[in-house]
Amino acid sequence: MKLYQGILLAFLFVACNRKEDAKEVIRPVYYKKIAESATAQTRNFAGVSQAKNEARLSFKVGGTLEKRFFKLGERVKEGELLAYLDSEDYEINYDKAFSSKKNAEVQLTAAKSSFERIENLYGNNNASLNDFEKAKAQYESALAMFNISKAQLIASENQLSYTKLYAPYSGSISNILAQENEMIGPGMPILIFSSAKDIEIKTFIPENLIQQIAIGQKVKVQFSAFEGKYFDGEISELGLSSGRSSSYPLIIKLLEQSPQILSGMACTIEIVFNKETKSSEYIIVPADAVAHDEGGDFVYVLKKTEDKAIYLAERRSVVLGKLLPKGYEIKEGLNTEDSIITAGLSFMYDGRKVSLVKK
């Protein structure tokens, strides 16, 4: 009997020691800071690069495209001659206008001289009122004809100058829309001209996010042509009209320019929606971080101990919102200062000691 009691006591002693050891096991856990979920949500959008200044250049007058000086993609300095039309007809019109102005100038000089002579005679009672008025009318008519011929000369000179097309700023030829010897109508674009610098990005934002971004907000841009490299940018323009679609245009200014970035390059824009512009009014946590039992929905919040490497798992009830692709909305129970355990909840209990897995 005594032997049996001794064996039983020994067994209980070993079992108690094992239980104590089990209680002291510190389980490593994965965790997430609520601040990261509440204040940082990243979305990617497809975009394309474009020149900040891009124009469809055309002649103000019509004619045959006689000469084009630059090829597709060539760099051009501001003020350089890009192309010109056959100007023969415009030169003839200019010569006619110049000749008409000269004749009108001669007629005006003669009429003015005659008027001044009759005016003096009329002042000395040596000419009749009828002669005076007739000379005055001839002078005024000659002056009017001179002014008209002068205006016609200026107009014909402008028409002649419009047969030449100059670069409005330094840039490059993005596209050619007309070839030499083609008949060009006034205002018909012959080429697309882009600025040599100041490349910007254009993308479109869904209507449910348009109110959550702001002018000046910083973004990251990655081009397909430069794998692994990111360019800093900021939102510079925001469209307030979607047109026929449910997306709104967005223009992004690149803060660092590169001659390798060309107009028309595909890219991805990374926009971080922070706590001021978050995409949900509630905190969002991973679905695996939420447990459920007869007591309701709950999570395990990490509590610090005197040992900086050891934390306590504290069970905390929460009120859930919608289940989103990124996890559950938490309406009540958590704040941005909390950190929660995100995996292995079946092994957790209130007050269990844990250590953090460094990601």
Look at residue 10 and tell me whether its pLDDT is greater than 70.
no
Q: Write out pLDDT tens, residues 37-54.
A: 554 567 889 999 888 888
Work out the average pLDDT over 285-313.
Answer: 90
Work out the average pLDDT over 303-310.
Answer: 88
pLDDT for residue 20: 47
Q: Residue 268: phi, psi to the nearest 5? A: -120, 130
Q: Write out pLDDT tens, residues 217-269.
A: 899 999 988 887 889 999 998 887 766 667 888 999 998 888 788 888 899 99
pTM here is 0.54
Tokens of 7: 């064996």
Output the average pLDDT for the chain: 84
Looking at per-residue pLDDT, the higher value among 11 and 183 belongs to 183
Looking at per-residue pLDDT, the higher value among 95 and 17 belongs to 95
Q: Which residues pair with 253 in a beta bridge?
A: 200, 234
Q: Write out pLDDT tens, residues 226-239.
A: 887 889 999 998 88
pLDDT for residue 229: 86
Q: Give the whole-angstrom CA distance, residue 282 versus residue 323.
A: 12
Q: Write out pLDDT tens, residues 333-353.
A: 888 788 999 888 888 889 899
pLDDT for residue 99: 94
> What is 51-120 written as a DSSP string?
ESSEEEEE-SS-EEEEEE---TT-EE-TT-EEEEE--HHHHHHHHHHHHHHHHHHHHHHHHHHHHHHHHH
196: number of CA atoms within 13 Å, CB side? 11
pLDDT for residue 178: 92
Q: Give the whole-angstrom CA distance, residue 259 versus residue 240.
A: 31
| Burial grade of 338 (CB within 10 A; 0-12, 13-18, 19 or more) | buried
CB-CB contact of 177 with 190 (8 Å) = yes
Longest Cα–Cα distance of the chain, Å, equals 169
Q: Give the whole-angstrom CA distance, residue 285 versus residue 327.
A: 5
pLDDT for residue 23: 54
Work out the average pLDDT over 18-40.
Answer: 68
Tokens of 57: 């250049």
Q: Residue 341: phi, psi to the nearest 5? A: -80, 135
Q: Give the whole-angstrom CA distance, residue 154 versus residue 151.
A: 5
Helix axes 129-161, 88-123, angle to 10 degrees: 160
Q: Residue 37: phi, psi to the nearest 5? A: -75, -35
Q: Is 300 helix (H, G, I), strand (E, B) or coil?
A: strand
Res. 279 pLDDT band, cuts 50 70 90: very low
pLDDT for residue 40: 52
pLDDT for residue 12: 55
Res. 73 pLDDT band, cuts 50 70 90: confident
CB-CB contact of 271 with 204 (8 Å) = no
Looking at per-residue pLDDT, the higher value among 195 and 56 belongs to 56
Strand pairing class (266-273; 218-223): antiparallel
Q: Give the whole-angstrom CA distance, residue 313 versus residue 353.
A: 6
Q: Residue 309: phi, psi to the nearest 5? A: -90, -10
- Structural domains for the chain: 24-39+281-356 (2.40.420.20), 42-52+198-273 (2.40.30.170), 55-84+170-194 (2.40.50.100), 88-161 (1.10.287)
Q: Write out pLDDT tens, residues 150-190.
A: 999 999 999 999 999 999 988 888 889 999 999 999 999 99
First CA to last CA across the chain, in angstroms?
Answer: 57
Q: Give the whole-angstrom CA distance, residue 12 versus residue 331.
A: 48
How many helices and strands, by DSSP H and E, does the chain display? 4, 24
